[in-house]
Structure 1
Amino acid sequence: MTAPGARDLAELLRATGRTRIDRAGLWRAFTEALPSAQGSVDARRMLAEAVAELEAEGVLVPSKATDDGTPPLPRSVRLTRPAAAPARPRAVEPWHPEMRGADGLRSPSEVVRQVNRWLFAGGTGAEVVPLRERALEITGDEKAFDAGLPAPLTLAILRAARVALPLHREPVGDGPVLLVVENADTVHSLTRALRAEPGPVGAVAWGAGNAFTSSVLSLVDGPPAAIRYFGDLDAAGLRIPARASALAVADGLPPVRPATGLYRELLEHGRPAPAPTADHSDVDWLDPGLRGPVRELFAAGHRLAQEAVGRRVLAADRGWRAGLDPA
């Protein structure tokens, strides 16, 4: 099997003792089979590929009914082999000395085993390369480590380094806060509004959509005291800062927190547009007072584009400045 996690997923599904498994159970088994997928922006794609491969192998049959995500996932799967049949025991693999931490894992993932085999095959002599290059070399999936390194893997074991894209910043004042904005037009409008009265904001940065989940790490060389973020109110618009915040904290940077006043203005002035049913899991990244309205927005199948908070809204009152302080 070539899809990351597919083999372990099949074994975990069989181990449930059931013949039909709903989507929630499918997700639980997949994140256990491939811990590096948990929280990854590509987790849905990776699960869809694993399901497709297991279907082709005759292991399972996905339901015709699917959800509205991209790519769509079945609402359930039916195992075609006896659910109670015991999984074939794995051959015991010795752990490389650098993988001592794997001894304590109850069920090491296939990615961990792949790294172990790579080390035995001469990986200890490899030169340091960008992490995605190493991920592709070892696993066949360049994004295998985007969501983080599963225990006991480290960058040192992988002989790899995270490559951080540069983050474009426009200085507006001397304050300690960096305001990151998802889209370029809103960067322009906010830069113009803040130059006249920057308050605690020292610079406005262009997050460039999903690129921010990498470029946030470029701040390590000169970290700001606080990072605030403003983006679209849709699934991707919340997933990006939530993932970026986790990476930032792991590298010793301050967390990425929402620019609350700007999001309030977006909820007030935004024009709801149709959107696929959104995953609500990243709504918790927002401040508590915003979570209820945003969940209602998503439940109604809508999204809001941040461009609704344009120059006229920014000039009308000062409420959008709430949440930009460094505290």
Structure 2
Amino acid sequence: MTLTALARHLADHLAASATQRVEIDVLYDAAVAFDRSLATTPCARTDIRSALDELAAAGLMTLPSSAGQFDRRADPPLPLWVRRPVRRREAREPRAARVWPAALEEAGRIADREDEFAVLETVAAFLRDGGSGRPSVPARERSLELFGDEKRLDSLSLTRLFTSGALTLDLLRCHAVPIPFVSQWVPGYPDSRGAALLIAENHHTYASLLEVTREHAAQGGFARHVGYGTGSQFPSAVLTVPLLVPTAERIVYFGDVDLKGLQIPAAANLSAVGAGLPPVLPAVPLYELLFAAQKTHRATPVAADAIAAAEWLGPLADQARQALIDGYRYPQEAVGYELLVDKQNVLDRI
């Protein structure tokens, strides 16, 4: 059974718990720390309950058997606590000795589970291929590259390989990205089309776009605002665009290609136009890079909503629509710092 990213994160949190019984408040906080949009989105309760149901179906935890052990003040009901399975020590075949690179020797002494060895093998391959000489990039970009999941490092950072200090983000040449300012103005060459506001849905991509925009502007690229859309809050946050100095004459957006990632800018576009602001348009050159990267994840197929959500993407609508119908999503972290540096001339087309 394939778990969603949120369910995997909660599974890691449960596995690391010192107690068998884990209160819902602890899991709720862990979910919000993993995906900050859950702090404000109306569907947070539903998303968290769905993740818990996934874990229960997979046998990774049990829900209370009594209806009185559920919070029923809102739908869906949430358990007041869950219970992880008892940890059992199982007899194993002796594992063949593995000689790890010097940087992984301490982690190699700690690891004793197959999932931990798999992580170390991935890191060893990264280092062997010259990873230590790579630039430091936002953690979710490196996570997508190494593990095929942009949020996997969020979960791994809670496990003993990282909390012990044996593994670090610096070793993987990446860094945590704090919640950024809403937008920053990057001085550069005047754009005859009007000053643009380039918005990224996720804050790790925002960090990379901002850095590459600065580097490109220093070489003669256009001046523009670069902003972080704060996920599902952007349809309301877009109304603050008139506060930007200098005035943003164009609003261009780049996000994930999945149902939510397309619904957000479509809703923001309606808000903007309704308020007399410039329309929210897709950053087509960046979406072209995203589709070309072909780093897809499985997602729940979408039927009726697919056509309406995909229309916002204009010339790429058919490709987005087919991805939604077929059950695939494209995380925007695939267009990361290193790719943007290599293809930074696309910024002139935005």
**TM-score if structure 2 supplies the norm length?**
0.43
**TM-score if structure 1 supplies the norm length?**
0.46
Task: Name the one with the larger helix percent.
Answer: 2
